[in-house]
Chain A
Amino acid sequence: MKHRTKALVAVVCALALTGAFALVGCSGSSSSSSSSSSAASSSQAASSSSQKVELQIFAANSLEKALPEVQALYTQKHPNVTFSDTQFKASGDLVAQLQSGASADAFIAASTSSMDSASKNGSIDDSTRADMFLNDLVVCASQNSGITISSVEDLGTSSDINSIAIGEPNTVPAGKYAVQSLETAGLCTTTTDADGKISVTYNDSVANKMNDGADKVGTVASYVKQGQCDVGFVYSSDIYRYDGIQAILTVPANYHKAIKYPGAVCTSSKNAETAKDFLNFCTTDPEAQQIFAKYGFELA
């Protein structure tokens, strides 16, 4: 009996120690890695090619397939630079994440206004900001759906379309462009409050069809691909990113604000020089251009 108690105490102690060590160990490692990366940046001015650098990029969700290929290309050409898990979310979410203290080296947004918010929050270095890509807005349907429309206005009248997916207009830039297009087509009205938050009132012709809650543009593509919605507003580049969907209409460019992807180095970056070089690489390297063009991104 006594033996058993001792064993039990030993097990409890061991578990406690494991937990304590694990927690201490990981916090220790994270602080040491941050100190080593700051050392990297300080010596970077002296020798830029030998120090190991890991870049953390925050990028618009639509870049989810193209950017990793370009990152692999960059690592191939600059073996000392690697990329930690790049965050591909709605631009608005990334702005919020940067504001709440997440550290990143560079941010690529899918709209000028998202980058403006990041700039207002002091998350990015304005001097490094530049437009990187252009994109088009399209209405997509699943392949073989047979749905055809010839204008955005047709969304209100087509009997084949029972549900229309768009991104949440306040966080998802593609959703915001979609609302602008619907407003131009006379299918909704919007009001913007003092904080810049958009509220949308849909006309009766589409009010019952709208699904405007998708958390990122990729979710809209998934909804359409899997048949939860008949059509959705996505970028023309999303057509190449997702299997099983096709563009049935390219929304005329004068229906919405120009779709530009600005990029900038973040103020929290400890590898600002490398981050800047990577952003520059994306828009000037011919092989990078080849990858972006494959996925439907036009260099700005």
Chain B
Amino acid sequence: MTQDTLRMRFGAVLGNERRARKGIVMMLVCACVVALLAGMAAPHQALAATTGTLLASDGTPLVASTVSADTDGNVALAEKSDAALLSSASYGIDSFIRQNKGTNKTYNDAYYGYRWTEAGEGAFSVVVGDSFAIVHIPQATADALGIDIADAKFQQDFLTTLVAIDRAAADGGKELGKLSLTYYFTTSDTVTHGDYTYQFDVQLEPGYYYTTCTLAESDDGRTGAQYMESGQVKLAADTVVKEKATGLAALGAFFQKLDWSPLWVSLRTTLVAIAVIFILGLFAAWWTMRVNDRVKGILDTIFTIPMVLPPTVCGFLLLLLFGSSTAVGRWFIAHGLNIVFTWPAAVIACIVVGFPLMYRTVRGAFEALDPMMLDAARTLGWSEGKIFGRLMMPLAWPSIAAGTVLAFARAMGEFGCTLFFAGNYVGITQTIPIAIYFDWMGGQTDVALFWVIVVILISFAVILFINVYSSHSQRYRKRLGE
């Protein structure tokens, strides 16, 4: 078998003189190693361990692969890094998984070693040790696909594909291409390396296979490998590689994946809040006009203070008021008002921070009205309600509209108070500003950017609307004046 391997290696390197020279050197090295090991034979396993030789289950040493991965190979990679195909290869890789960690956990109270899951029945496994990597391809798989695992062309193509898909799946972890490793291809289900024993295709329950590593006289085999990878070898024709979409298709994929819920949550929350703010703001402004100065001062302070306080303080106070950590909060909860981290909490947060803007603007407008005119209406026998509805409201309307828009913008942009009091629940309390923050923090910069654009567009539309509307109402006022 060794002779066959050598002859084949010779054939593969004939075309390139430099590589041929290298091949001869490597061949000589191999021959020396083989001769040495033959001299040692099986009974000297302890000695073999100290020299770090990898042995198959029948005691024969594994043959080190002499090929190196071609890093310039044209390898097509799937978007999810689960499939890869080298353009010139006869075989591709499918169902690829990278296992950065295994587990020493027992299975049904029996210890099987430090174990990693394999990609399924007949899957290949790659165990990455400190200076070597064992590539295990089950005999049945090799037979079914007609693979000679000692064939240099196969090894070269396989390693090129493996190194490429490993780099794609590394996600910042170690990469085969950057580690200096000697590769050993084997079909043996057991490989020993000193005190470490690697087993492949260990079936613990029907359909699930594991690669295990045990250290002699220990129940911790994690030091036997840096990480492990597994996948299925497929004929090139059977390997399906779904590459990443580009251009318009990528944009389509982005929108297909996008969760639109922050927009709906924002709109729903803000619209309900603004309806409440509108009524409460008008009423509060009208009411403070009608009380004596001392009470007015106190009311004014209470109504305005949320505008001055940091939103986080408002959120904290609301949490104290309604949360279960205070007596008041527990009383509310006992009486069925358990709203912390729910959607009504998001609405209340928006109302609290948006209300002062409405109130201040409207009160300013009401105070600017000529009191003589209001008194004149009273002498004509108009009720206070009629004066409010037919005199104060129409005259102060531009300010009321401005106040509403200001409060709307403030409520739409609410972040601190909402996060404190209503939390970040997707589809319930996650408004656009909160989504932007968490998308950015979670590394989804593209989604965060999209929401930023949406917010800018909404703000632009609101301002445009108010400008058009106010010019319209000004025209109406002008006509009244004429």
Contacts and interface: CB of A to CB of B under 8 A. Distances in A.
A298 B225 CA distance: 14
B272 A298 contact: no
Interface residues of B, number: 58
B7 to A, nearest CB: 41
A289 B342 contact: no
Interface stretch (A72-80, A110-118, A204-212, A243-251): A243-251
B339 A27 contact: yes
Contact of A240 (B100, B325, B336): B100
A31 B100 contact: no
Interface string B51-70: 00000000000000000000
Nearest to B425: A85
B323 A101 contact: yes
Contacts of A216: 441
A241 B97 CA distance: 16
Given A30-B342, A218-B441, A299-B103, A243 B97 contact: no
A225 B105 contact: no
Nearest to B209: A286
Interface string B112-147: 000011000000000000000000000000000000
B340 A100 contact: yes
B319 interface: yes
Contacts of B282: 12
Given A9-B389, A293-B117, A299-B105, A27 B344 contact: yes
A16 B279 contact: yes
B304 to A, nearest CB: 22
Contacts of B172: 143, 239-240, 242-247
Nearest to A18: B275
30 contacts: A1-B390, A12-B278, A16-B275, A19-B275, A23-B344, A26-B344, A26-B347, A85-B425, A85-B430, A87-B423, A97-B341, A101-B324, A101-B325, A101-B333, A102-B423, A222-B440, A222-B441, A240-B172, A240-B173, A242-B443, A247-B173, A286-B205, A286-B210, A289-B117, A293-B99, A293-B103, A297-B101, A298-B103, A298-B104, A298-B222
The 7 closest A-B pairs by CB, nearest first: A101-B324, A299-B103, A19-B275, A85-B426, A298-B101, A293-B99, A286-B208
Interface of A: 1, 4-5, 8-9, 12, 15-16, 18-19, 22-23, 26-27, 30-31, 64, 84-85, 87, 97, 99-102, 143, 216, 218-219, 221-222, 225, 236-237, 239-247, 283, 286-287, 289-290, 292-300
